[in-house]
Structure 1
Amino acid sequence: MNLKQIPLGPLQANCYLLFNEKKECVIFDPGFDGERLIEYMKQEGFKPIAVLLTHAHFDHIGAVEEVRNHWGIPVYIHELEKDWLMDPSLNGSARYPMEPISGRPADHLFTKEEKVEIGPFTLELLETPGHSPGSLSYYIKEMGSVFSGDALFSGGIGRTDLPGGDHATLIESIHQKLFTLPDDTVVFPGHGLSTTIETEKTSNPYLV
């Protein structure tokens, strides 16, 4: 499997394309710039099969409708945030001077931690709330990688002052879910550069 990281939108939220040798791919967090993202994927010959969301804050979902409509692919999200795609007051877009983000419900709701198969991809779901109540991290054992959304960053953690956020819950999520992964696991966060579990265990000022 291969990976392409594409920062999108004014907050440069990381969209990730996870793809195989056939260019079949899943799209993590298509945040903004839907037209540019679609054009790039068409030029590169990607064949998307699903949109996977780590959570439903506006900077991670702004291009969901454009991507879903263009390819006719399903969207997956945690059930605790099932209403956020439709509600600007929940996804946060109503609090900023921008066009409110409101789309259709997700096609599939994750309800528990489990191993899921989406096309040729196998992912393990880790519930990592704290930044938001339905935050998910996606662990891919064969790649030694985890997509942590806005739970864990290189040298940082997600903010917890938004509705549904809780600092103690986030710290517990990181220690009990992410820090139990192998130390050499590569962390692909929702913003910024990648890191490793070992690096964050030993040097993240919020966690050591």
Structure 2
Amino acid sequence: MTARLSHAVTSGTFSLDGETHEVENNVWVLGDDEQCVVFDAPHDVDTVLELVGDRECVGILLTHAHDDHVRFAPELSEALEAPILLNPADGEVWKLTHGDLPWDDTVEDGDMFTIAGVNLEALHTPGHSPGSTCYYSEELGAVFTGDTLFQGGPGATGRSFSSRETIEESVRERLFALPEDTVVHTGHGPDTTIGTEKRAAQGDWL
């Protein structure tokens, strides 16, 4: 297996419901020497371009449509000549940032992508937003969770388009069903594992 994972952190803002917060976002690029995919498009196009290098980017896989994850998606798409993929359940959230500008293709639960000889399965995990989607690779023993699951538990709710009950159900039924040694690559902050978060949730909300 020749797949490798590249990572960087970008800084910027997240705005929703009339509030703006400073945030740092993880950028993940998965591929080999020839091709790659990018997860999300936060804050800084140049940082993503450096991670991609001279490889062909075959897709920008959006975990959800909050502005700190998609604000630069059209610009990044143009620079990389790569399509933007988003779960259509996040269409209204996308419009908050990009209006009627369309994304390129849809991601549905169960969709499979192959890059650098490894498979990525799209897992629809609503709650943080209606279309939040994680990407699981059995071969890598890893899942890219965006803002659905962090070190310390499920992502934030309480804002427009979000539901605590729904995100807990998504994590419980979709993510906690993965092997416990699965590494969780998050949208913000450090990695964790499924087992670590599953044990932490016991007696709390699980």
| TM-score, length-scaled by structure 1 | 0.84
Specify whether residues 171 and 59 from structure 1 end up closer, same or farther in structure 2 by C-alpha distance, changes over 3 A only. same
Cα distance, 1:41 vs. partner?
3.5
Q: Please give the root-mean-square deviation of Cα atoms over the aligned residues, in Å.
A: 2.0
The 1-side partners of 2:100 and 2:78 are apart by 11
- Deviation track 1:18-66 (CA, whole Å, cap 9, x = no partner) reads 012x24110001111113332x146x43321110000000111122112
2-structure distance, mates of 1:68, 1:48? 9
The residue type equivalent to 1:16 in the other structure is W
CA shift in 2, pair 1:195/1:119, >3 Å: closer
User: Structure 1 stretch 23-32 or stretch 5-14: which is displaced more?
Assistant: 5-14
Aligned-partner SS, 2:145: strand
Matched, 1:36 2:33: no
- Number of equivalent positions: 192
The sequence identity of aligned pairs, in percent, is: 34
Q: Which residue of 2 aligns with 1:79?
A: 88
Alpha-carbon distance, 1:199 to partner: 0.7
Which residue of structure 2 aligns with residue 96 of structure 1? none
Q: CA deviation at 1:165?
A: 0.4
Secondary structure in structure 1 of the residue aligned to 2:93: coil
Per-residue CA deviation, residues 140-189 of structure 1 (Å, 9 max, x unaligned), is 11101001110110113211112110001111110000000001100011
1:146 and 2:143 are equivalent in the alignment: yes
The aligned counterpart of 1:13 is 25
Letter in 2 for 1:68: S
Query: In the alignment, what sits opposite 1:98?
Result: none
Which shows bigger deviation, 152-161 or 132-141? Answer: 152-161
Does 2:22 match 1:26? no
TM-score (norm 2): 0.85
User: For 1:161 and 1:24, how far apart are their aligned partners in 2?
Assistant: 38
Contact 2:85 2:103 in 1 (8 A): yes
